[in-house]
Structure 1
């Protein structure tokens, strides 16, 4: 059956840029920094697990959702591009919204870490578009699935060693990575919007 390396690389880079693992470090530490090491380690794998479940659900059912709502791929590309552009602007402007605060007794690995911080609208839209555009070949679907799993493994590792990473990178390093991610994400968003316009033109 083979393995589509190009599709794997494209989806992997897109999701890494959207989900921004280094940028999640300050938020993760602010939410679980007061907890015990065991609780932090548990949250570090629970949050990606929740995100993986949510994104996989949309990856499997995305086409059926589009068909049921009578939404075409160009419309989804346009909406996804606008969503990604908003996320990119937040990254470039330093975050935008205030960081979430956890209440006592609430499992922050589920909400807000797992969703919507990780499995947010941008990542969900990107996965649905990737699956909807994929040819009916097992190698392509396998590549998309592998990319989804890989990005969540990366996130789990980053969160697990977030205390070490924040000391190595420093606040300035994390901010720089967030700015670079925002620039790349803006380029991806513009390309999605351009593809959406071309799709509407071709459909006429």
Structure 2
């Protein structure tokens, strides 16, 4: 079995990414970002967000180190930029701007892609963690299968959490959803500030 799948590595990848990407914690933020959508639109947004997140994580796992080196971009810089973008989204959730009807010129904006798919789900933490697992692996087929299955399993959990957010929405109602949206904005702001703080600390240590 170890020749086909490294169970220990699979467990490490799954637990690490599950904690970082936090499927249960995405539910209130997902409800806030999709509060103006219908049930069908919310389900489609869940599929799109997970697909985007999976594509970004896989792409960085395969080509991330080479891409960042070519562009002379450090991992702390990537982390800081993701934190700043999440902070902007948090401000919109806290002020209710996310719930306002979008102007006609912004009808093509899809929150499932940005900021939900990335950098919220496929954020700097998930990207860096996946790149580290790939770098530390010995390149065997068992390691690649373990990493791939670990990443896939976490994204399945993310989809299930957002897919059944509709049930939570029906239970909470409109007022409850608005309350959860404000709380999600506060939590997201804290996450964003922590990302920036960690990036600054990394910059200082590297100096």
**What's the TM-score, normalizing by structure 2?**
0.65
Deviation at 1:98, TM superposition (A): 3.5
Show the counterpart of 2:54. 52
When residues 134 and 67 of structure 1 are mapped into structure 2, their CA distance, relative to the original with a 3 A threshold, is farther
Deviation at 1:21, TM superposition (A): 0.9
Q: 2:36 aligns with which of 34, 37, 42?
A: 34
**What's the TM-score, normalizing by structure 1?**
0.66
Where structure 1 has 5 or more consecutive residues not aligned to the other structure, the ranges are 88-96, 183-188, 198-204
Show the counterpart of 2:87. none
Deviation at 1:163, TM superposition (A): 3.1
Deviation at 1:20, TM superposition (A): 0.9
Give the conservation status (yes or no) of the 8 Å contact 1:27–1:99.
no
Give 3-state SS (helix, strand or coil) of 2:139's partner: coil
When residues 165 and 17 of structure 1 are mapped into structure 2, their CA distance, relative to the original with a 3 A threshold, is farther
More moved, 132-141 vs 57-66 = 57-66
Give 3-state SS (helix, strand or coil) of 2:5's partner: coil
Q: 2:120 aligns with which of 117, 122, 129?
A: 117
- Count of paired positions: 166
Deviation at 1:23, TM superposition (A): 1.0
Give the conservation status (yes or no) of the 8 Å contact 2:30–2:162.
yes
Deviation at 1:62, TM superposition (A): 3.1
Q: CA RMSD in A?
A: 3.6
Give the conservation status (yes or no) of the 8 Å contact 1:5–1:143.
yes
Distance in 2 (CA, whole Å) between partners of 1:56 and 1:156 is 17
Show the counterpart of 1:135. 138
Distance in 1 (CA, whole Å) between partners of 2:10 and 2:92 is 32
Distance in 1 (CA, whole Å) between partners of 2:92 and 2:142 is 39
Deviation at 1:157, TM superposition (A): 0.7
Show the counterpart of 1:62. 64
Where structure 2 has 5 or more consecutive residues not aligned to the other structure, the ranges are 84-89, 192-197
When residues 66 and 38 of structure 1 are mapped into structure 2, their CA distance, relative to the original with a 3 A threshold, is closer
Show the counterpart of 1:8. 10
Deviation at 1:70, TM superposition (A): 8.9
